[in-house]
Structure 1
Amino acid sequence: MKKFIQEFKTFALRGNMMDMAVGVIIGGAFSSIVTSLTDNFINPILNFVTGAQAYGLSDIAGFASNFISALFNFLIMAFVLFCLLKAVNKLASLGHKKEAAAAPATKKCPYCMSEIPIAAVRCPHCTSHLMEEQNKNS
């Protein structure tokens, strides 16, 4: 049973699964912005242009406030989702140890300052002998 729970945890917290969940949630929240834009701006403009309905200043203010409300709801949802994912990532990384820094694989040639392999005896760029330099450092 413990292995089953561990496998499920690995599956649920995998990067692709979390990205897909965020996409679905943000997509659902964004659809409310699109619906509000259509209901509060595009349809009233079309109704006004075609002469189907006339709007007063209070109607226009109501349309704007509805759209701004939908926009703030989206931003709040995105912020809450961001905080939630930040907490999940923090919890997921608690058990992992930081990797030690890898030993350098290259060094700089003291003569031409180009990157060369650490074990090089001669610089491939300026053809300088590096053996004396290594002996001085030892």
Structure 2
Amino acid sequence: MWNEFKKFALKGNVMDLAVGVIIGGAFGKIVSSLVNDIIMPVVGILLGGIKISNQSYSFGSAVLKYGAFLQTVVDFFIISFSIFLFIRILSRFKRKKEEETVEEIKADVKEELLMEIRDLLKMQAEAGGAIGTREHTDRS
């Protein structure tokens, strides 16, 4: 059972997932700090010094903390937008790399074709021009 677990845990997909989770956690902390320490204080200043996350409404003993909910919604949109930008940048790099690979393949194919043409022309010249020509004797 231990050997099976080691095989599973050391597969590329599992390791990639683990790295992704760790990086995602760190990225989440960065975005949370951006929201809590930079963006929301500016929003609070624009709203006249109000701290959104502290806003609430009381119904007797029940407290409706709509400010915390709004804070979470703002966090979500900023995190979503940040991830969108990050994925967009990665996609551009990936697309550029794929285009470079296609260009390299095209160059290799062109070179190979040119070498084949050169070899055929060389063979034709050595054979006295007989290769690739047809004489039509039958005219019907």
TM-score by length of 2: 0.37
Structure with a larger share of its residues in helix: 2
> Larger radius of gyration, structure 1 or 2?
2
TM-score using structure 1 length? 0.38
**Structure of greater relative contact order (alpha carbons < 8 Å, 6+ residues apart):** 1
